[in-house]
Structure 1
Amino acid sequence: MGNHQKRLSVPNSWPVERKEATFTVKADAGPHGENGVPLLIVMRDVLSYVDSRKEARYALNQDAVYVNGDAVSDESRPIGMFDILTFPSRDEFYRVFPGVGGRLALTEIDEESASSRLGKITSKRQVNGGEFQLTLHDGTNIQLEDASDYSVNDSLVIDNDEKDVVAHFEYGEGALVTAVDGQHAGEIGEVEEILVTPGSGRNSVTVSTETPSASPEAGEPGEDREFETVEEYVVTIDENFVGDEE
């Protein structure tokens, strides 16, 4: 397998211009699956901190970049939704957040906010020994003796140092969510209704929100409206994320 990826075929979440060149860097296997964006693209194309792979490797060898509290040495390490990027020498902290159209964007945050990260529970099962294993959207596994308070589609806040659960946001009607994929990616609102599809079909969810900008289709700014999307496209958040986006 080569180290390059054609720009025209990259996932929609990658923040790259498809027609600037034929190829871009390829992400290694790791968190976030095929939607994970190589760290090199973030450092070079988004933040303009380096001009080349060589410069990125040098910076990473100096422990200049931390992802979710851990120093990173691989410039192809996939970066994805809700990851926390820390640049100690610059005293800069970023949260990876879904932007309009599903492209991943960086939201600058303070040091306290960078001490933990959000994860959506995508799987819950009992493992050998009687403990329960929760799997998050990025593939992280957490084992707990008692997981009765947690359900699939809930969100957890994980401390980056101790890897402990420090907050829990329940998914359900009235929950604050953000769409992370699909036509409404990047929009934030409250769950109005969860539409359960019988059988193996995907559930959908109706979300109420405010129109962010004027357009003939969307209405005037601040106007209440609703949108419907696939349940797996929404993630439960709290008001702190709304503040970050503003």
Structure 2
Amino acid sequence: MTHLKRLSAPKTWEILRKEKVYAVRPKPGKHEHKYGISLAVFLRDIVGIFKTLHEIKKVMYNKEIFVDGRVIKDYKYCLGFNDIVSIPKINKFFRIVYSIKGGISFIEINQKESELKTLKVIRKDVVKKGKTQIGFYDGSNLLTNEKVKMGDSVLINLKDKKIVKVLPLEKNSFVEIIKGKHIGNHGIIKNIEKQGNKTLAEIDVGDKKIKTLIENVFVEVKR
């Protein structure tokens, strides 16, 4: 189905649920259903730079909308955390983030910032000639000689797909919480500790310290 009822949409969608009956359902993609949102809903209902689906389709037909540097022609394309949405013709660039309430939100960035993306490493494989293929949370992969660990993040240049910087998952790293009840919070890791078969990160978020599973955190560039 192309649409779903707004009242049944994931709680992460910060949209008006009673104004209209339906919203555009995202196609299955690199993000989990409850953490993903269709490009159409993001541009029309979250950002608000287009008023109708017809306007979005027209701009897409002219190849004017990019996600992570690639032209996107499908208004049902699934977006999620840290994706970069660019519309260069009108000088609009956005990074998808979580609000403090855990909803899908955005920050407006400039063109230079839109050329960089932070990706979390969730898989490592040694391939031929001793190179390492690292797999990221969004399903993409990269061959590299860089020394990275599971859970680290890397800052990628979207134009040449090269690593600009490795962001290690360790004490004093700046992180965002991307899952769990503390989703949307960000701060500095103060401690990492084992509790049975779980690893917890203690994070100073400014006015308090919170603990969450280490897999819920995403090392990010402090902006």
TM superposition score normalised by structure 2? 0.91
Q: Partner of 1:239: helix, strand, or coil?
A: coil
Instruction: Look up the match of 1:92.
Output: 92
Instruction: Look up the match of 1:52.
Output: 52
Per-residue CA deviations over 1:53-97 (Å, capped at 9, x if unaligned) read 332111111122111111111101111111111111211111111
Q: Partner of 1:194: helix, strand, or coil?
A: strand
Residues 143 and 16 of structure 1: CA distance in aligned 2, closer, same or farther (over 3 Å): same
Alpha carbon RMSD of aligned pairs, Å? 1.8
Q: Is the 8 A contact 1:101 1:183 kept in 2?
A: no
1:231 aligns with 2:214: yes
Instruction: Look up the match of 1:122.
Output: 122
* Aligned-pair CA distance for 1:16: 2.2
CA distance in 1, matches of 2:43, 2:205: 33
Q: Which amino acid aligns with 2:79?
A: I
Instruction: Look up the match of 2:67.
Output: 67
CA distance in 1, matches of 2:102, 2:133: 29
Instruction: Look up the match of 1:218.
Output: none
**In structure 1, which of residues 203, 208, 220 is the aligned counterpart of residue 204 of structure 2?**
208
* Aligned-pair CA distance for 1:227: 0.8
1:30 aligns with 2:29: yes
Q: Which amino acid aligns with 1:27?
A: P
Per-residue CA deviations over 1:118-163 (Å, capped at 9, x if unaligned) read 111112122466432211111111122x34x101111111111111
Give ranges in structure 1 of 5+ residues lacking alignment: 212-224, 241-246
Give ranges in structure 2 of 5+ residues lacking alignment: none
TM superposition score normalised by structure 1? 0.83
Aligned length: 222
Aligned identity (percent) is 23
Residues 9 and 197 of structure 1: CA distance in aligned 2, closer, same or farther (over 3 Å): farther
Whichever structure has more strand as a proportion of its residues is: 2
Instruction: Look up the match of 2:190.
Output: 192
CA distance in 2, matches of 1:235, 1:139: 15
Per-residue CA deviations over 1:186-212 (Å, capped at 9, x if unaligned) read 22211111122434xx4221101213x
Instruction: Look up the match of 1:7.
Output: 6
Instruction: Look up the match of 1:79.
Output: 79
Instruction: Look up the match of 1:176.
Output: 174
